[in-house]
Structure 1
Amino acid sequence: MARFDSSLGKADSPDPANPAHAANPANAVNAGKKKRAWIIAGAGIVAVLAATAVLVPLALGGPTQAPSAPPATSESAPASGPAEVGPPVTYYQQAGPPAGSPLEKVEPHKVDVSSDLVGTTLNKGMTGISLEATDLADPDLSADNASMVKLLKEIDQPVLRFGGNSVDRRFFWTSTGEAVPAGYKGDKTHPVKAVGPADLARVKTLLEAGNATISLTVDLGHYDPARAADMVKNASEIFGDRLLSVTVGNEPNGFVFNDVKTGTGYSLDQYLRELKDYANAIYAVAPKVPISGPGAYDQKWWQPFVDADLPQKKILTFHNYPLYSCDGSDPKGSPTMANLMSQLMHDRAADYQKSALKVGQDAGLETWLPETGIAACPGSNETSRTHASALWAADYALNAAQLGITRIGFHSSLQTCKGGPPLSAICSAGAYPFGNGQMSGRANFFGISMVAELEAGKFMKLNSSGGGLAFSYALQNADGSTSVVIINENDPEKAAQTDVTLNLPGKPVTGTMTQLSGPSYKAEDQTVIDGAKSEPKPLAERATVPGFAYKSGTQQFKLTAGTVTVLHFTY
């Protein structure tokens, strides 16, 4: 079987015959062009008034003032009465296609939102960042690093997951200051790191400053249940309720392929025996910490974990990189732009996630996807750092959430923007490889932010048709408001704006929007939200949907290609 390594930019391809990474493409193709959409409702009522000074989020240009209609008179009004006119508003101005672009007409997009619920929810903290376990030793993970605190706040209450390939190879926990054993091996860009209680205390300051939580992975590559239990005991005391779970080992199904275990190899039965030893040792010193696992990309490992007799077994975790075919043996699974921006990419991911959800739900376990990314391939490819990665990230996270996955972590690195892992959502300024700790977000980070900044709510059923390559989602908020997310993945260099007809389950009195945009699929460092490289504007500062029809259940507007648009309606 082929080797596989999930470290960003360092992975080799798994066996393409293994169904763990891709569902049957025929199932996705037969899904057709008709898409399901879900509406997302966020708490908070917004009215944008133009009578006074208004803060307006603009993607391009200045605000457009809506004219006030004259009051209807009894002589001019029809028998049924005139349509009600709302207060003056300021309309959102979105970016159009690049100048001179050939415009290909897109079939009009119709979205009908039902008041019926899907049965799943979008919770705060659903999206997060996955890092290497050795990153716990990095002094830049501290409340003193304002740039890192800012990033955490821009993905509202995220979970920081620490694991990756380093945990079973180059990570050494010690609470007594021991020297790293001689057998641990690293290199210039992947050094061996010792981590102790002082490191966890420093990371705690970052979590508090950025309002984040944490999930940890303990070393299974060097069998030592007592050492792992000591780490969890210290972590539980230091992090308290911010510690969400602990996983034993990272992708144990790949230990043989990745040379973690050599010689006689490593079997599923051996993993289950060692897992039980670890879980019992952890429970003895930290009985309230949930155990998650197996953190594997092979479906054959999921059910045995679920069936294992473990204390505090609470969460099924799995890993997935949808574009896994690094050697091109599966053309539809290769990391190309055509594959990334396709209906098949969306459908394959959904099929794989449904498989994991069934195993978890049948056992009454929560299901997490704590490590994911576009591709598990070494180095750069044509999807790396691109605006298209932002569109993908938003759709991937929302689709996972509406299916029932409750946590998702996009695997990333603290290394430099230039020379570091190209698929990382965050990166550091400065000299390669470790930079100066001034962190910033890449395009996919802003896609994550669009989802993270949504209010918690219940997904609602909807039907959609047309729109080309577009996906819609929906939530009903606690206050009764509705948010609609439309991800327009049509090519921003070629596609004309899409005419959208949105039928809502009520008659809104306000309708505002925020939008992520970029000039092309392949554009790097040009993805913006409301015209800036920042999180979405607060609800109270958002401008009105162009053409908003006051107290009308039907709204009609245009959306530019290559955008993620969040619409918020109050009734």
Structure 2
Amino acid sequence: MISGTALVAVLAAGAVVAPMVMNDDAAPAAAPTPTGTPFTVSAAPTLPPAPEVTYYDQVGPPAGSPLNPVEPLSINVAAATTGTALPDGLIGLSLEATDLADPSLSGDNPEMVESISGLGRPLLRFGGNAVDRRFFWTSADEAIPGNLSGDKAHPVRAVTPADLERVNTLLEAVDGQIALTVDLGNYDPARAADMTKYAAAAFGERLVGITVGNEPNGFAKTGLRDSGYGIEDYLTELKAYAAAMHAVAPEVPIVGPGTYEQTWWGPFAEVELPQKKILSFHHYPLSSCEGADPLGEPIMANLTTRHLHDHANNFRGKAMEPALTAGLETWIPETGVSACPGSNETTKTHASALWSADYALSAAQMGISRVSFHSSLITCQGGPPMSAICTGGGYLQPNGAVDERANYYGMSMVAEMPAGEFLKLDTAGGGLAYPYAVRHADGSVSVAVVNNNNPETDAPVDVTLELPGKALTGTMSQMTGTSYATQDGTLIDGAAAEGTPAAERLTVPGFEYGSSTQTFPLTAGTVTVLNFTF
């Protein structure tokens, strides 16, 4: 649902953005809480000789910085899981449904393959505003209906079975998965079922879900339905779509409702459908475009505060309540810093990379299994500035190159972490530092620290880390940036590329061989992933 023009670029979840701003201080209502389990870390009675290591050389703060002191950060990692997991394939890209017709989405496109591969085993989600307005599925070479309209930057596009086959070559090249959205704005369950049938055949097990309509809670406001359209009308239509889709592909889950309005989540969780359901919602936390909510305005001061971190958790906690009660998996198939049109203080910045990493990790720790950041295939020049990727060339004249923006690197830092179970933490201090710990299948433990302190003015934070066992190795990878506002300056391990492979990473500075206590500094404005073996 991103749009872009030569003057402004729109990144929006719907025509009405105000309802997406959630700054309610009320805590989420009680819901079943995931429960973890304790574990033990075995250690050899005698330590083998310490290996020779090369220490990681962190980028320090800029010369002459005032270096405001930051309270030391203590992290105590318990030998117990939380009951939630960092899943394989957490990170994804959300694209417009019409992008399915874009020939650049192909396994034969090395630029696209390389870019998408930097997001692990990603989920490509197709939906956005386009699906109900300027998208037409046909398996019979039909003419595009005259009631659909677009513009030069966002043309009406027909999508065919051949397009799905081409997109599948990209999924195979990156070992990714796909989620689709069918058109509900132009009511046609039979056409949706036809698309579902062909999609199931083209993608097989890589097709992990289909959503019916994009943000149907906004249909009455955008003219796709009359003014009285509400949740009950949606559920009636959803049941008709679900029945038709189940008849041709019973194994494909329905993902929904895909709305930003809370009142729709519970009814979807409770409705009976013949196929598996996955609860989904959209979230753009800084979408008070005109500043009616000062804390929800897309400005740097809001993006870099603990308030945003805490209130994002609050909003998502409210969505998790009906999902947990109903025993449903939960996705955020569409998110970003803001749904406001055009550029603002936060777009394309290093601060957006820090936010993206923290948003994804905190979502997974809550139990959310998919987080897709809304993006665009429009050119970087004139295209949506909030997009994680964009294409090279003049405006609307792509030259085949695929470029990555700062937020992409925050996503990549999380995507490259192996799957595992989150561990319980006791933490204190650290200013705006947010730690997470994950235990992997091989028994190693990763500790990720999103250090959101100001890279221009704040001193490195001194970390004391208590691990659940005596570490024999400790390596790290780090994302850096010289300031919150820097654009095109976000790096991972010193390069504008995905991080160093795990086996080649350097050792944490000051690593204490055979000790469960590790102390080290972390530069402000960084995302650091540390991995320890025992």
Residue equivalent to 1:251: 215
Deviation at 1:272, TM superposition (A): 1.1
Q: Which deviates the most, 207-216 or 283-292?
A: 283-292
What 5-or-longer segments of structure 2 have no aligned partner? Answer: 4-8, 29-35, 40-45
Q: How does 1:152-191 map to 2 (within 5 A)?
A: 152-191=116-155
Shift of 1:147: 1.0
2-structure distance, mates of 1:113, 1:435: 48
| 1:141 aligned residue (105, 108, 116) | 105
The corresponding residue for 1:24 is 24
Which of 504, 508, 527 lines up with 2:490 in the alignment? Answer: 527
The 5 A counterparts of 1:149-548 are 149-261=113-225, 263-548=226-511
Question: Over residues 82-115 of structure 1, what are the superposed CA-to-partner deviations in whole Å (9 max), with x where a residue is unaligned?
Answer: 9997222100001011122221111111111111
1:64 paired residue number: none
Q: Conserved in 1, the CA contact under 8 Å of 2:131 and 2:181?
A: yes
One-letter amino acid of the counterpart of residue 119, structure 2: I
- Whether contact under 8 Å (2:182, 2:210) holds in the other structure is yes
* TM-score, scaled relative to structure 2: 0.93
Cα displacement (A) at 1:434: 5.0
- Measured after TM superposition, the shift of residue 361 of structure 1 is 1.4
Percent identity over the alignment is 58
SS at match of 2:106: coil
- Which whole-Å CA distance do the structure 2 matches of 1:258 and 1:103 have between them? 49
Compute the displacement of 1:433 (Å).
2.4
CA distance in 1, matches of 2:461, 2:73: 7
Bigger Rg, structure 1 or 2: 1
Conservation of the 8 A alpha-carbon contact between 1:414 and 1:434: no
Counterpart-to-counterpart distance in 1, 2:297 and 2:235:
33
Closer/same/farther in 2, CA of residues 27 and 224 from structure 1, 3 Å limit: closer
TM-superposed CA distance for 1:265, in Å, is 4.7
Q: What secondary structure sits across from 1:437 in the alignment?
A: strand
Given residue 371 of structure 1, which amino acid in structure 2 is its aligned partner? E
Matched residue SS, 1:427: strand
Q: CA deviation at 1:6?
A: 7.0
Deviation of 1:478 (Å): 1.1
Counterpart secondary structure, 1:505: strand
Find the residue that maps to 1:214 and give its secondary structure.
Answer: strand
How far does residue 437 in structure 1 lie from its aligned partner after superposition? 3.1
Equivalent position amino acid for 2:208 in 1: L
Say whether the 8 Å CA contact 1:85–1:550 is kept in structure 2.
no
Is contact 1:152-1:211 (8 Å) kept?
no
Residue 264 of structure 2 aligns to a residue whose secondary structure is helix
CA drift of 1:373 comes to 0.4
* Distance (whole Å) between structure 1 residues aligned to residue 231 and residue 397 of structure 2: 36
- Residue aligning to 2:82: 118
Contact 1:10–1:379 (Cα < 8 Å) also in 2: yes
What secondary structure does 2:150 align onto?
coil
Matched with 1:61 is none
| Alpha-carbon distance in 1 for matches of 2:241, 2:497 | 42
In structure 1, distance between residues paired with 2:397 and 2:156: 14
SS in 2 for 1:277: helix
- Give a deviation string over 1:134-166, Cα, whole Å, max 9, x none: 000000000111111111211110000000000
CA distance in 2, matches of 1:150, 1:116: 37
Aligned-partner Cα distance in 1 for 2:399–2:220: 36
Following TM superposition, by how much is the alpha carbon of 1:198 offset from its aligned partner in structure 2, in angstroms?
0.5
In structure 2, what is the Cα distance between the partners aligned to 1:150 and 1:84? 40
For residues 251 and 13 of structure 1, do their structure 2 counterparts lie closer, same or farther at Cα, with a shift above 3 Å needed?
Answer: closer
Runs of 4+ aligned structure 1 residues displaced above 4 Å come to: 5-8, 12-16, 82-85
Shift of 1:26: 7.0
Q: Aligned pair in 2 of structure 1 residues 311, 9: CA closer, same or farther (>3 Å)?
A: same
Q: Quick one: distance in 2 between partners of 1:104 and 1:269?
A: 54
SS at 1:548 equivalent: coil
What is the CA distance between 1:364 and its match in structure 2? 1.3
8 A Cα contact 2:23 2:296, kept in partner: no
For 2:47 and 2:207, locate their aligned partners in 1 and report how far apart those are by CA, in whole Å.
Answer: 54
CA contact (8 A) 1:473 1:485 kept: yes
Instruction: Please give the alpha-carbon distance, in whole angstroms, between the structure 2 residues aligned to 1:83 and 1:368.
Output: 44
Cα RMSD over matched residues? 1.9
Distance 1:242 1:544 in 2: 37
User: Taking structure 1 as the reference length, what is the TM-score of the superposition?
Assistant: 0.87
Match of 2:55 in 1: 91
Query: Which SS does the other structure have where 2:222 is aligned?
Result: coil
In structure 1, what residue type is equivalent to 2:114?
A: K
